[in-house]
Amino acid sequence: MTEFTPWMSLAGGVLIGLAATILMAFNGRIAGMTGIMSGVIPPLSADWAWRAAFLAGAVIAPMIYVALGGVVPFSAPISTMAMIVGGLIVGVGVSYGSGCTSGHGVCGIARFSPRSIVATIVFMLAAFATVFVIRHVIGG
């Protein structure tokens, strides 16, 4: 079980939306992790520097939060093999789908992009179905 955290989750969501707004206002870019990351995987894109800066900020922020006494619950209730298989599939999927939760689910839908609306519905349904099969069909 994990604790239901509506207020912290809502606050976190608002910050994610704020980050997307800042990146659009100053850099004119979508805050999508797939797209931002793809430019720093060799061969580097010409505009790799702002991408690296965004990624560095995203990694450092939780470190600062924890150093200041914040608590970030973490638990990965799956095997290492499942982590590897899941990671590989996510990597291929977000590349072909041109985006993930941040790019399609937040930034894309916020712009009312039909592609992003379709992508988000598909990956959410696929994830619900996958967890159902793993936990209640295979594991049940």
Partner 1 sequence: MNRNTSALVAGLVFGIGIAISGMANPAKVLNFFDIAGTFDPSLIFVMGGALVTAAIGYRIVFGARTKPVFEAKFNVPTSRTIDARLVGGSALFGLGWGIAGFCPGGAIPALGLGYADTFIFMGAMIGGMLIARFLNQLERRRTAAPA
Footprint of partner 1 on 40-59 (CB under 8 A): 41, 49-51, 53-59
Q: Name the E strands within 4-122.
A: none
CA atoms in the 13 A half-sphere facing the CB of 96: 7
Number of residues forming the site for partner 1 (CB under 8 A): 111
Q: Is 62 in the site for partner 1 (CB under 8 A)?
A: yes
- Inter-CA distances, 84 with 87, 89, 95, 107, 133, Å: 5, 9, 17, 27, 19
Q: Which of 44, 69, 85, 138 binds partner 1 (CB under 8 A)?
A: 85
Cβ contacts of 19 within 8 Å, gap of 6 or more: 31
Q: Is 68 in the site for partner 1 (CB under 8 A)?
A: no
Q: Which is nearer to partner 1, 12 or 44 (CB)?
A: 12
Question: Binding to partner 1 (CB under 8 A): which residues in 113-132?
Answer: 113-115, 118-120, 122-132
CB neighbours (10 Å) of residue 20? 19
Q: Which of 46, 69, 73, 138 binds partner 1 (CB under 8 A)?
A: 73
Distance (Å, rounded) from C-alpha 61 to C-alpha 95? Answer: 26
Q: Is 33 in the site for partner 1 (CB under 8 A)?
A: yes
- In the complex, the smallest distance separating the C-beta of residue 44 from partner 1, rounded to whole angstroms, is 13
